[in-house]
Amino acid sequence: MRVVLAEDLFLLRDGLVRLLEAYDFEIAAAVETGPELQRALADLEPDVAVVDVRLPPTHTDEGLQCALEARRRKPGLPVLVLSQHVEQLYARELLADGSGGVGYLLKDRVFDAEQFVDAVRRVAAGGTAMDPQVIQQLLARRANDGRGPVDRLTPREREVMELMAQGRSNAAIAGSLVVTERAVAKHTANIFVKLGLEVSDDDNRRVLAVLAYLDRDH
């Protein structure tokens, strides 16, 4: 699997290269600036891009904007964004096309190699990998805006929804919450009914449905 990696800090970039290579990824390019990333994504056609939000020369949202432009040119290009903070606008931009193959992880909350590698593989396969804090803030935004359906979820349904939006399967959710898969399926069905979404047993489709709900303005 070919990866384009963009990170401006040398030690972190070098560490990510070594980590990914240890798990049999091929590093097509490891770059440190926005223009380099733009060229690499256009010329190398990687299987997945792992991108820091803030890159030189602007140190604002250069990495994200390069990734979004690449996804406009090649719809569905898998992109895993790394960030220091939860920035809802960036998360919403990344999710806007609803096509999957996206991830948003906080650098200081990636606790082990397998967690990170799993996220890269999941995104590369067209799935999602969203940090729980991103999901919680998107949920809070919906609730604080007075958009009723989120308020109608029970505390347990909110827990299930947060895990579902991270890309977890029913089995994984059940294991995390120490309940049965049947109970998770029931909660999931209730969530979709309350949010007015189409019920789906496909993990990726239901994640996208939930994220689309969290992202929409009305």
Tell me: do 183 and 124 sit in the same domain. no
Q: Which of 95, 113, 130 is the last residue of a domain?
A: 130
Tell me: do 114 and 43 sit in the same domain. yes
Q: Which of 130, 159, 175 is the last residue of a domain?
A: 130
Dist. CA 150–CA 146, nearest whole Å: 9
22-26, 70-74, 161-165: range with highest mean pLDDT: 22-26
Helix residue ranges, H only, the chain: 10-22, 34-44, 62-73, 88-95, 113-124, 132-144, 148-151, 155-165, 170-177, 181-195, 203-215
Q: Given a cut of 80, is residue 96 above it in pLDDT?
A: no
Tell me: do 119 and 141 sit in the same domain. no
Tell me: do 41 and 141 sit in the same domain. no
Range(s) of the domain holding residue 175: 134-215
What is the pLDDT averaged over residues 7-13?
A: 95
11-20, 76-85, 101-110, 190-199: range with highest mean pLDDT: 11-20
Tell me: do 178 and 109 sit in the same domain. no
Residue 208, C-beta contacts closer than 8 angstroms, at least 6 positions apart: 98, 99, 100, 128
pTM of this structure: 0.80
Tell me the pLDDT band of 218, cut-offs 50, 70 and 90. Answer: very low
What are the tokens at 60? 């604002």
Q: Given a cut of 50, is residue 24 above it in pLDDT?
A: yes
At 114 the pLDDT is 92
| More confident of the two residues 201 and 159 | 159
At 146 the pLDDT is 55
Tell me: do 142 and 182 sit in the same domain. yes
Whole-number percent of the chain with pLDDT over 70: 90
CB 78 within 8 A of CB 54: no
What is the pLDDT averaged over residues 167-176?
A: 88
CATH of the domain at 111: 3.40.50.2300
For 32-88, write each residue's pLDDT tens digit. 999 999 999 999 989 999 999 999 999 989 999 999 999 989 988 999 999 988 877
Tell me: do 146 and 207 sit in the same domain. yes
Q: Which of 130, 158, 179 is the last residue of a domain?
A: 130
Tell me: do 142 and 97 sit in the same domain. no
Tell me: do 20 and 69 sit in the same domain. yes
Tell me: do 138 and 124 sit in the same domain. no
Tally of domains in the chain: 2
For 125-143, write each residue's pLDDT tens digit. 988 888 888 877 777 776 6
Q: Given a cut of 70, is residue 15 above it in pLDDT?
A: yes
At 138 the pLDDT is 74
* Mean per-residue pLDDT of the chain: 86
At 147 the pLDDT is 54
At 177 the pLDDT is 95
Q: Given a cut of 80, is residue 181 above it in pLDDT?
A: yes
Tell me: do 115 and 27 sit in the same domain. yes
Tell me: do 110 and 192 sit in the same domain. no
